[in-house]
Chain A
């Protein structure tokens, strides 16, 4: 099974063409069927994708931050295949929006599009994948598997009613084996390829080793950093005003059309090199954590996020956070406040206007009203959004995978009983 890649393309908009980009995105968003505008479903391994406008902004030092058209996708490796398919199968769709962007070829061909995408692609500072190595094919197979087994139980429940759990499991396995399209599920899902696993294992070990070597320097730097942090925190100017009604209405009009939602929050960093350095450091740690710790169905207690990423823009003058999550924005923000406030604070408190933090981790998001106001104010509407499995929560995906895993191997009666409760 492949690992996952996060593609971000930041396209500068031609002077004066902002309205035309908006119109092109609106047309794409209104396309019926949606596939007509952006055929992500015809490409290989695209879990999620989106186009949105990153508004112009002003950094605290007065630098003007330009408006951008942003393409993001969460895809199965290799990334090159995805870029090729975007340039080929997505040609018409790409051309319609990107032709308003600086440097896009006037008469684009596959090669020209790929060159453009590569040139404007930026790496994520950190990228979270709900479960690393679970490819789209696996997710879709396991969705079909569960649907089919549920339907089988609806039909044949009476025949199973008197069975013990192991007998019921054997009957379900026979049902799966009889269906050619489901039969592969009798084997366990394959892990990512060896090269990827070796690379990740090396990263897992090497990073702490290097940090260990640097310990004396870090110990010297830490007290200085803490003093600087407190000085900065004291001079922070929170901006807790609610987002204006029209902005909230626009966001709300795009939300809750399915059980998943896309999220974008973007904003300039606070002034000065300290905040820039701190953000880089925190995201570097976050990147390590999501690669090696939070890489299976749980982001520090939050189990509703499919993919998420942090991207630096404008020479680290601002940060864009993007995610695909389950449920409402209210429950999403409550999860932030109740479960990962410390993590949110460590990253987002470097952004202008964030509720006041203490010692980087404390305060901040725990001020519910201020935090929700800031998040809503910084939230950007996502005009075009694609999900390959819009009816599955991350929890469903995980349950499907565990159900499938239970089709292989042997089980005690008690294990089989627990396994059957996944249905």
Chain B
């Protein structure tokens, strides 16, 4: 069999890419993420072979009523029987997984966030091998899709670990703020030009393409002899190996439970007798945007619907000292734009920021809780975000952003101010005249309940994995054929 023909658009092989790379499927309002442990490798390979043609690609028309994507952990690749030498070419972070002692330290997964308490992905639950991402226009279609998938998975030797059901609560996350506004855009797609602050080279988000350094990120490669049917493309770097990673990406999944009453009670207490406007202002200072999505840098006094979701702003020239948007605010540290060295305010600064972008694909879960109910103590229901992001270089992108920008108490010259939304116990300063206002020992608003790293493989890679034979850990093809 010859290499499968793929269509190339703007230099990207869209029909070999899973759709999630290009879209968040916003139109498909119902979604569930199903996590499985693979028990029977042979049946699971057959399951993958059956799924491959059904996966939604980046070339699939956006009018479909459902979408289906698939992600695999490194331990799944081993379980499926990928040769050990090929597994070893995966990045260390993928092979080790999220729940190692060092990674727990750098991701803040300690104490209440520790992996031993996790619903999935930790040491006390069954290993997460496979994630099915199912989307549909409505609940009825989603249920039908999931029922069918669950049946196939069961006969495919996969046992469900967790079912992550989401609820469409609109564009605002549970604390009430418009989310997902600032996203990196793939160069070459829909007119995105590289000069823009948000446009990154394809290799930052898709494996097998050049990244911002002009290089190719670490990805699984296999010996050409293990792909006698030429199901996989050649390694573009010319090693003679076949590329199992091409058109794929790495997915980070984290369940972030949000304590909405704690968040709004903190803001209300901080506002004191000054009322709802002041309360909203404190909350906005923590976030860096107003509930409408208007950025504090542009709307420093009050929420302004005409500035909603605006993303064309920078920090350094407009607000170096953080008098509008505090240095420690959540969005200022998640994407510092032009505020860091070298030469804050310059294009060199933005160029360095581009090495640390994440494409977010998360969805909320749990019912929405209005602010007044939250202030009364809430309803006891669990709610939060299934945070999900795509990137090609886990240590330089997801882990860097998390450790060096979000969680570091020293971000941007601060002293004891980790991300006020994601962490507990730190301080938070609101710069002001003549002097700042500081809150210490912040309560916990977010608790990590689970997490895992996955490979989001290209379509050909799924087909290849489904076609493998043999025992786990051994080469599945006769040598020299």
Chain A residues near B433 (CB, 8 Å)?
165, 417, 420
Chain A, 388-423, contact with B by CB distance < 8 Å: what is the 0/1 string? 000001011001000000000000000011101101
- Closest residue of chain B to A152 (Cβ to Cβ) is B435
Q: Give the number of A-B contacts (CB < 8 Å).
A: 96
Q: Is A366 on the interface with B (CB-CB < 8 A)?
A: yes
Select one of A153, A255, A303, A418 contacting B436, CB under 8 A: A153
Segment at the A interface, from B51-59, B100-108, B358-366: B100-108
Q: Is B440 on the interface with A (CB-CB < 8 A)?
A: yes
Q: Is A66 on the interface with B (CB-CB < 8 A)?
A: no
User: Min CB distance, B432 to chain A, in Å?
Assistant: 9
User: Min CB distance, A405 to chain B, in Å?
Assistant: 16
CB pair A259–B410 under 8 Å, yes or no, is: yes
Q: Is B387 on the interface with A (CB-CB < 8 A)?
A: no
Q: Is B305 on the interface with A (CB-CB < 8 A)?
A: no
Select one of B105, B400, B409 contacting A330, CB under 8 A: B400
Chain A residues near B106 (CB, 8 Å)?
256, 328
CB pair A154–B438 under 8 Å, yes or no, is: yes
Whole-angstrom CA separation of A259 from B217 in the bound complex: 28
CB pair B341–A423 under 8 Å, yes or no, is: no
User: Min CB distance, A254 to chain B, in Å?
Assistant: 9
Size category, B interface:
35 or more
Q: Is B171 on the interface with A (CB-CB < 8 A)?
A: no
- Closest residue of chain B to A248 (Cβ to Cβ) is B92
CB pair B321–A334 under 8 Å, yes or no, is: no
Interface residues of A in 305-340 (CB under 8 A from B): 326-328, 330-331, 334, 337-339
CB pair A331–B413 under 8 Å, yes or no, is: no
Q: Is A160 on the interface with B (CB-CB < 8 A)?
A: yes
Whole-angstrom CA separation of A416 from B102 in the bound complex: 43
Q: Is A253 on the interface with B (CB-CB < 8 A)?
A: yes
Interface residues of B in 98-150 (CB under 8 A from A): 100-102, 105-106
User: Min CB distance, B341 to chain A, in Å?
Assistant: 6
CB pair B400–A301 under 8 Å, yes or no, is: no
Whole-angstrom CA separation of A243 from B298 in the bound complex: 46
Chain A residues near B431 (CB, 8 Å)?
421
- Closest residue of chain A to B437 (Cβ to Cβ) is A157
Q: Is A36 on the interface with B (CB-CB < 8 A)?
A: no
- Closest residue of chain A to B321 (Cβ to Cβ) is A421
A-B contact pairs, 23 of them (CB 8 A): A153-B436, A154-B438, A157-B437, A161-B434, A242-B92, A248-B92, A249-B102, A253-B101, A256-B105, A328-B106, A330-B404, A331-B400, A331-B404, A367-B215, A368-B213, A368-B396, A369-B217, A393-B410, A395-B410, A395-B413, A396-B413, A420-B434, A421-B321
Whole-angstrom CA separation of A328 from B321 in the bound complex: 25
Whole-angstrom CA separation of A146 from B435 in the bound complex: 14
User: Min CB distance, B404 to chain A, in Å?
Assistant: 5
Known: A366-B213, A395-B410. A330 touches B399 (CB 8 A): yes
B residues sitting closer than 8 Å to A (CB atoms) are 92, 95, 100-102, 105-106, 213, 215, 217-218, 321, 341-342, 352, 355, 395-396, 399-400, 403-404, 408-410, 413, 415, 431, 433-438, 440
Whole-angstrom CA separation of A330 from B409 in the bound complex: 17
Chain A residues near B403 (CB, 8 Å)?
256, 328, 330-331
Q: Is A55 on the interface with B (CB-CB < 8 A)?
A: no
Whole-angstrom CA separation of A197 from B406 in the bound complex: 42
CB pair B102–A330 under 8 Å, yes or no, is: no
Whole-angstrom CA separation of A328 from B477 in the bound complex: 42
- Closest residue of chain B to A167 (Cβ to Cβ) is B434
Q: Is A179 on the interface with B (CB-CB < 8 A)?
A: no
Whole-angstrom CA separation of A157 from B95 in the bound complex: 51
Select one of A164, A327, A330, A396 contacting B434, CB under 8 A: A164
- Closest residue of chain B to A169 (Cβ to Cβ) is B434
Whole-angstrom CA separation of A257 from B399 in the bound complex: 16
Whole-angstrom CA separation of A257 from B213 in the bound complex: 30
Whole-angstrom CA separation of A384 from B409 in the bound complex: 24
The 6 A-B residue pairs whose C-beta atoms are closest, nearest first, are A168-B434, A252-B102, A331-B404, A421-B321, A393-B410, A165-B434
Select one of A168, A245, A331, A337 contacting B435, CB under 8 A: A168
CB pair A423–B436 under 8 Å, yes or no, is: yes
Chain A residues near B438 (CB, 8 Å)?
150, 153-154
Q: Is A23 on the interface with B (CB-CB < 8 A)?
A: no
User: Min CB distance, A150 to chain B, in Å?
Assistant: 7
Which of B95, B102, B218 has the most A CB atoms < 10 Å from its CB? B102
Q: Is A163 on the interface with B (CB-CB < 8 A)?
A: yes
Chain B residues near A168 (CB, 8 Å)?
434-435
CB pair A368–B215 under 8 Å, yes or no, is: yes
Select one of A161, A334, A367 contacting B355, CB under 8 A: A334
User: Min CB distance, B24 to chain A, in Å?
Assistant: 27
Known: A256-B105, A326-B410, A330-B400. A338 touches B92 (CB 8 A): no
Whole-angstrom CA separation of A423 from B217 in the bound complex: 41
Known: A328-B404, A330-B403, A334-B396. A163 touches B434 (CB 8 A): yes
- Closest residue of chain A to B416 (Cβ to Cβ) is A391
Chain B residues near A368 (CB, 8 Å)?
213, 215, 396
- Closest residue of chain B to A329 (Cβ to Cβ) is B395
Chain A residues near B437 (CB, 8 Å)?
157
Whole-angstrom CA separation of A160 from B403 in the bound complex: 35
Chain B residues near A154 (CB, 8 Å)?
438, 440
CB pair A259–B352 under 8 Å, yes or no, is: no
Whole-angstrom CA separation of A253 from B106 in the bound complex: 11
Inter-chain pairs besides A369-B217, A421-B431, 15 sampled, C-beta below 8 Å:
A154-B438, A157-B435, A167-B434, A242-B92, A252-B102, A256-B102, A256-B403, A326-B410, A330-B404, A334-B355, A338-B355, A367-B213, A369-B215, A416-B434, A420-B435
Interface residues of A in 336-361 (CB under 8 A from B): 337-339
Chain A residues near B409 (CB, 8 Å)?
259
User: Min CB distance, B402 to chain A, in Å?
Assistant: 10
Chain B residues near A339 (CB, 8 Å)?
341-342
Select one of A248, A257, A301, A327 contacting B342, CB under 8 A: A301
Chain B residues near A255 (CB, 8 Å)?
102
Chain B residues near A259 (CB, 8 Å)?
408-410
